[in-house]
Amino acid sequence: MDDVVGRVEVVGTGLIGGSIGLGLRTRGWHVTGNDADPVVAARALALGALDAVGEDPDASVVFVATPMSSVVEVAGGLLGRRHRRADLVVTDVAGVKTPIARGIVDPAFVGGHPMAGSEQAGVDGADGELFVGATWVLTPTAVTDADAYARLRAVLSSLGAEVVALSPQQHDALVAVVSHVPHLTAAALMNLADRMAEQHASLLRLAAGGFRDMTRVAAGAPDIWPDVCAENAVAIVATLDALVDDLGALRRRVAAADRTGLYEVLEHAAQARRSLPTAAARPERLTEVRVPVPDRPGVLAGITTLAGDLGVNIYDLEIAHSAEGDRGVLVIVVDADSVVALQEALAALGFRSTARQLA
């Protein structure tokens, strides 16, 4: 389960692709990259995000950091080039996963989404430490190769990311709530303030910390959002509808001078905000859980997404294959306090597991 260092290729060298390149080069990887705009690729090279511009047929990991609309075409083309390494794993960083999972059905592809970003635009805003402490969602499917998933997970962990597995559909529903609609809400509030500033020139001078914090994400590059909204429209619209309902309820309480009702809503929100999880430090007590599994695609996706559903963080993962080839053992390392809940959930799915506390 040691960190793996080798050769990686990054397709799309903007903010995220450039940050991946910087982070991996710092950690000893050889990084080749390219971009649809040669000027951007040259800038990534000059900034130290790449060792070389171009393709690398010897890369064991390829990150597709292109606009969402081109991920299926680019990643599919890479996977179709069979002269590449047999142990190749290809991933992407797009913010919507379901259409990509439908468009790429290949054992060597593992969908991904780093929940990290910046108001900075382009490769000049790239930061090699951008992913430290950030959640990086992986979306394995029934065809995902377990070894490909494990190799990619090790690379992302080396960047300092906390890796969580979700199904593509679950990912899209959840990010509508915590990412997509907050960005749209911030944009709407910022545009409202800007319109009011046309009549009240001093308005934006009054913008205090709360307003600036809430609208900070509105300063991000807008170019990805039309694709995001088009691809995740169902979940975004449902979340916007729920938000509009909640705002309507607040409006009615304000109009009716319902002090008690307002206090209840605000107090509940305050408690929920204080309960938000922070980037957790590695726990002092870790336990290794070994799960004998059929050696076939789909099993890993089921178990890792189960852990994600339970809120169990997997700190390490390895697959031990049997000599016969039809069975293997999935070895995962989790917080000791999470073991009982995880083993009970595994048993409910028919998996027997054993646990051993690590020193």
Average pLDDT over residues 260-269: 95
Number of C-beta neighbours around residue 126 at 10 A: 25
CATH class of 7-166: alpha beta
Query: Hey, what are 112's tokens?
Result: 């991904």
Report whether pLDDT(107) > 80: yes
Percentage of the chain exceeding pLDDT 70: 95
Query: Hey, what are 202's tokens?
Result: 């001093």
Average per-residue pLDDT for the chain: 90
**Position 50, amino acid:** L
Token look-up 């997509």 returns: 180
The burial class, CB within 10 Å (0-12 / 13-18 / 19+), for 283 is middle
pLDDT tens-digit series, residues 75-106:
999 998 867 788 899 999 999 999 999 999 99
Check for a shared fold between 171-274 and 286-357: no
For residues 232 and 226, give the distance between their C-alpha atoms in angstroms, rounded to a whole number: 10
Task: Give the architecture (CATH level 2) of 286-357.
Answer: 2-Layer Sandwich (3.30)
- The residue ranges of every structural domain in the chain are 7-166, 171-274, 286-357
pLDDT tens-digit series, residues 134-185:
999 999 999 999 899 999 999 999 999 999 999 999 999 999 999 999 999 9
pLDDT tens-digit series, residues 182-206:
999 999 999 998 888 877 767 777 7
What's the pTM value of the predicted model, to 2 decimals?
0.86
Query: Hey, what are 205's tokens?
Result: 């001078």
pLDDT tens-digit series, residues 23-82:
999 999 999 999 999 999 999 999 999 999 999 999 999 999 999 999 999 999 999 886
Predicted confidence band of residue 4 (pLDDT cuts 50, 70, 90): low
CATH superfamily of 171-274: 6-phosphogluconate dehydrogenase C-terminal like domain (1.10.3660.10)
For residues 166 and 306, give the distance between their C-alpha atoms in angstroms, rounded to a whole number: 8
